[in-house]
Structure 1
Amino acid sequence: MTAPLVDSRIVVDRGAFRLDIHLRIDPGEVVALLGPNGAGKTTALRALAGLVPLTDGHIRLRDRELDDARARRWVPPEHRPIGVVFQDYLLFPHLTALENVAFGPRSHGTARKEARVVAAAWLDRVGLGDHARRKPRQLSGGQAQRVALARALAVEPELLLLDEPLAALDARTRLDTRAELHRHLAAHPGATLLVTHDPLDALVLADRLVILEGGRVVQEGDAAQITAQPRTDYVARLVGLNLYRGRAAGGGVEVAGGLTLTTTDAVDGDVFVAFSPIAVAVHLDQPTGSPRNTWPATITAVQRHGDNLRLQLDGPIAAAADVTPAAAAQLELVPGRRVWAAVKATETRAYPADA
């Protein structure tokens, strides 16, 4: 088994908030750190970069100790083999693209002439060789992002840190730049940590997802594991599922509100039960016929969701349901309308709550 390139326990106290996570990243691996605002994602990234001191714990990069809070060991940011791309890129406005990229190697002690050669090569690799003499104000958002990435990679970092690298881009530029970024990350031999709030960025770019909530890791795994068995409401919303915790016995799961959901999964005890909004059918009258879960609900909101409309339902349980615009118009599905929600037992997934 390959030893991790990054082996850390990151503990940072900031007032009443405490970040306390173990984070390991293998060589060549891209790990995405996701979580709601205030979960501690950027604090973790800045601690790895040496910009935030640890309250406790350690950060090891390969066999080098960068931080050890108890031994009061701390390596300054400029002496860490780490490249960072911040959300707003932080390009020097008075320097050309070439000079911005050369700044990385120069800050690590490379001679000016050699640094410019390295910078020119990296600008070519990110497709901006003919933009070397342009200053940041003359670059588009996607071009500025690529210059920032080239500057970070030009120092040949063992660890690459990306802080919301696509957040400032419009939708079209984001799509193209995401594909370009994926190509460069796949070729990077070191470890990469991507901090993002966008699940699509994480699913496309990362090998493994680590979910933070309230300064703690609540779930981690690859995309298939996370989407198959979300373990918190935030993760369920992230992957687009309705999620409930309950007590399973005899094929039924008793959840909040006194409702029992029937499932085809053989589980007992404390479990989660999940189903997609697409699996929720909405009726004006209580449905009969094939075995299914039904409950009365009231529509509280209607929002566009891709080609469908997403209904927010309140009742014994809160749920999201996706319907076509045609169905919404025909059934007059508007906020305040009382309806019946239905989900087939075969459309549910139930799994143990204590993994």
Structure 2
Amino acid sequence: MTDIRQHRGPGPVLDAHLIVDRGAFRLDIGLRIHAGEVVGLLGPNGAGKTTALRALAGLQPLTGGKVTLGGADLDHPDRRLWTPPERRPIGVVFQDYLLFPHLSALDNVAFGPRRHGADRHAARERASAWLARVGLAEHARAKPRQMSGGQAQRVALARALALDPTLLLLDEPLAALDARTRLDTRAELHRHLAEHAGATLLVTHDPLDALVLADRLVIIEEGRVVQEGDAATITAQPRTDYVARLVGLNLYRGAAAGHAVQVGDDFALTIADPLHGDVFVAFPPAAVAVHLLRPEGSPRNTWPATITGLQRHGDSLRVQLTGPITVAADITQAAAAHLHLEPGQHVWVAVKATETRAYPAEPNPPLRDAQ
């Protein structure tokens, strides 16, 4: 562990190219994380998030690529190099925490330092200090069954951090908590991650966890990175339909010629600023107006549609519509009551050109929902 830390330099702490073949599925992604940086790894179920975490932890062998941590190679299949999990300077907080049920909170946290050579007294002193840092000093003697979900999560975090890991891996660390506990624990976790000097990878499917906790987001689908960047960039310019749904936008890909973007065989959207070539067009559901009759006046984009679904969405009603393109609209409860909307109803949809956001597309897999 010590030797790896001595190799730290100005570059990324983690420099990994993860290639894992599991039957018909292949994970092939690059991950680079700097000291003190928290990277959120997001993606739909089956995208490869957990496979990536297990590969970094040494629980899943690589098919190809490499894992370099603190300047030292941990995995390099081409060189027949592999470092077992217990020799990696990596702390892991699993989704189910995996605390030892027969050990107290103190001994759970002391387990890691003991395994890495500390004597019983030193390990317990370190564990006691970490329990105090996470606000659980008075629960040192408690067994996991005597703890709440939030307390168990903090013990698991303390156990991981007690090793002073070069890399901290968090696998859906808040998923097992109820809504109120999740809110409080998220704020507590944010504070501890800000104090962690090493690199951190947060694996999650929850965009709020990622937006609050991570400095940078890496989004994967079907084993590939489809987008990465800070939250502001990804929120402003999503590049797949999954990312668009994640940040709450309607998204279409098409060919632009001036103010018109062809997004279907016989359908074009009008945009505010002229562009040319392959582009994305995005707009929020709140920008979509629903009318019983064809509207007159300022909207530049109007088309007939059929309602396929209605769901409550916060204080609004989310209306799902099909037509020349599939679109989601958010309208007020009062507007919904006035319009008497129901599935199967034929309506008109309008979006002002000034409400759209268009930007050049980068090479990506085709959008599943674009018509």
TM tier relative to shorter chain? over 0.9
Q: Select 1:339's aligned residue among 343, 347, 353.
A: 347
Q: Is the partner of 1:37 in helix, strand or coil?
A: coil
Aligned residues with identical type, % of pairs: 75
The count of corresponding residues between Structure 1 and Structure 2 is 355
2:161 aligned with 1:153: yes
Alpha-carbon distance between aligned partners in 2 of 1:64 and 1:321, rounded to the nearest angstrom: 51
Q: Is the partner of 1:268 in helix, strand or coil?
A: strand
CA contact (8 A) 2:36 2:199 kept: yes
2:369 aligned with 1:353: no
Q: Deviations over 1:49-103 (max 9, x none)?
A: 0000000010000111100010110011000000000000000000000010001
Q: Deviations over 1:273-332 (max 9, x none)?
A: 000000000000000111420110111001111111100001110000001111111101
2:47 aligned with 1:72: no
| Residue type of the alignment partner of 2:197 | P
Alpha-carbon distance between aligned partners in 1 of 2:264 and 2:122, rounded to the nearest angstrom: 65
Match of 1:142 in 2: 150
| Residue type of the alignment partner of 1:81 | P
2:245 aligned with 1:234: no
Cα pair distance change 1:104/1:69, threshold 3 Å: same
CA contact (8 A) 2:97 2:152 kept: yes
Alpha-carbon distance between aligned partners in 2 of 1:251 and 1:193, rounded to the nearest angstrom: 41
Alpha-carbon distance between aligned partners in 2 of 1:250 and 1:229, rounded to the nearest angstrom: 19
2:313 aligned with 1:305: yes
Q: How far has the Cα of 1:243 moved from its partner?
A: 0.3
| Residue type of the alignment partner of 1:163 | D
2:183 aligned with 1:175: yes
Q: Deviations over 1:106-164 (max 9, x none)?
A: 12111111000000000000000000000000000000000000000000000000000
Q: Is the partner of 2:273 in helix, strand or coil?
A: coil
CA contact (8 A) 1:303 1:311 kept: yes
For the aligned residue pairs, the C-alpha RMSD in angstroms reads: 0.9
Q: How far has the Cα of 1:257 moved from its partner?
A: 4.7
Alpha-carbon distance between aligned partners in 1 of 2:233 and 2:266, rounded to the nearest angstrom: 29
CA contact (8 A) 2:299 2:351 kept: no
**What does 1:74-113 correspond to in 2, within 5 Å?**
74-113=82-121
Match of 2:61 in 1: 53
2:249 aligned with 1:247: no
| Residue type of the alignment partner of 1:303 | Q
Q: TM-score, normalising length from structure 2?
A: 0.95
Alpha-carbon distance between aligned partners in 1 of 2:333 and 2:10, rounded to the nearest angstrom: 51
Alpha-carbon distance between aligned partners in 2 of 1:209 and 1:25, rounded to the nearest angstrom: 11
Match of 2:52 in 1: 44
Q: Select 1:187's aligned residue among 185, 195, 210.
A: 195
Alpha-carbon distance between aligned partners in 2 of 1:132 and 1:163, rounded to the nearest angstrom: 24
For structure 1, the 5+ residue unaligned runs are: none
Alpha-carbon distance between aligned partners in 1 of 2:299 and 2:188, rounded to the nearest angstrom: 48
2:210 aligned with 1:208: no
Alpha-carbon distance between aligned partners in 2 of 1:324 and 1:55, rounded to the nearest angstrom: 52
Q: Deviations over 1:147-189 (max 9, x none)?
A: 0000000000000000000000000000000000000000000
CA contact (8 A) 1:257 1:317 kept: no
